[in-house]
Structure 1
Amino acid sequence: MEFRLMWGGRPYAIDHITTNLMAGRLDAHVGRHVHPVFHVMYVLEGNGVFTVGDTSSAVGPGMLYIIHPNEPHQFHFGTDGPLTNLECTFLLRDTHGEPAAVNLFDMMEESRSIRIGGAVRTAPLSVPHRFRPMLAEGYRRILDLYDVPPLKSHFAVTVAELLAKIETIVAAVAQPERVPNTAEETVERAKMFLQSNRHRPVTLREAAQSVHVTPNYLCRLFKEHAGETPMGYLQSARLREAAHLLAFTDLPVYTIAEKLGYEEPSYFARLFRRMYGESPQSYRKRSLLHG
């Protein structure tokens, strides 16, 4: 069954074209052009000058460009040192299989019930630092699928996950951040921080600082509203990610453990068995049989 993205109450099929890590581009030019696909580019390092529509901007690390179908654009990569970026190209198709003439910002406004102003729509997004690991991980999930011959729908699912991450970022940029003023909001914001940083060692103090409370108070709020500790939530998020990687990639178990911050594969395997009732290897075999 084909995966469909539900946005604004309407289903769209995602036709993934390509996702790439483009490294070390120095003084490289791409002339002004258009194409009938979405093009989402995230700059990891370096600099350059990008023009999208009628807006030219100096490029730097952490900048995100959302280019819509048939929107003119041109690039000058690496104006003063090499530029490295991630890019994902895809189509959204309607129920008739035709390319959908939709605007992602309009869809995000409808989804979030917010207003995304012209400054956000026409300029590149400077991704807040707290979201940068989450965004890069969204691209990496797609790139990991190239390691195996997956079903086409697997690419669609991971592109949808990347779009969800981008929607979170756009909403945060469109609505200036404020200190959480309810317990539920504090817990949800802390969950977002833990999810975004689950691929590196994270401390309870860091999670508490991200929502402007003390570690002890955050633990109490988590217990009351999530039924577990912040670190327990982080561990569950990591193991869910591990299950995804086991099912949809052929990365070795030790590599998956390392990617998720576990130094000892044997410790990771024990935790995985405790949550899923079987070893990582058994889970992978069962996923392949039922894939």
Structure 2
Amino acid sequence: MYLREYAIVNMTRNLVEETGGGTHPFHEILYIFEGSASLQWMGRDYLFTSPALFLLPPNTPHLLTKHSGTCLFSYIELDMQNTSEFPAIEQISRWNALQCDKNPEQPELAPIYQVAANLLGSLQPNNPYKAIAADILLLDTQKLLMLVNCFLQVQQPSSDMPSGSRFPRDQAEGQERIHNIMRFMESNYREPLTVNRLAAQAHLEVSYFIRSFHKIAGRTPLQYLHDLRLNTASSLLSSTKMPILEISDAVGFQSIHYFSRLFKQRYGVSPSLWRTKKEQEALIP
């Protein structure tokens, strides 16, 4: 994920309604600090007062129209680079609808709006850490998305849950389940593990399990398993004389050809050549 564009916009007092928006192939976070306005998005008009936070998927036209003397808002455009940190469209629709009908008895919203309000604070000219302001902004953006995702998971209506699936009651429980599965994989990487088996082990619905695992581990369950196996294989190649076929079997690969292909993708050379290079490096005084 990286930041494409970000700014604070102050719609000045004007007798004519001011508008802003458009469409672009990037995800966007829109936060309204002050004023009342309406947002046209996905065939619906969202009428709201500040504070309000809208999430906009790529290629979805949107138009913001102010209805008060002033309207102060910020926006951040993101290239998510195929990550799963941004909520899915169904969740986004639920979240955006909430902005028009916020419940003041929901204290969970306050920290989310606070993080959103402070997002661009790192860009102020007097910031002593302005040299790393963009990096701080990116971390704060990830924090904001984590908070929104957590809120949506906790608030998810039971009717949205697939039959027979299970979801954790809160973020801490979800993280504990994923960490337990990671430890299970580290102990059982030699076995023929599948995503379905791992999700069942975690008592989670498969797609939810994959998204949650990626958020915590930074990679999919299969990528994490491959990393465990390839790291172990490289250790065996450099510290033992085991044949490559035995190493492939020992770390859990069902096919030496698949093992060799993944190994070359990771290290740039075949397992046999990698072992030879390491042996030669060990002889250099």
TM range (shorter): 0.3 to 0.5
Q: Which has the higher contact order (CA 8 A, sep 6+)?
A: 1
Structure having the higher Rg: 2
The TM-score with structure 2 as length reference comes to 0.37
Higher strand share: 1
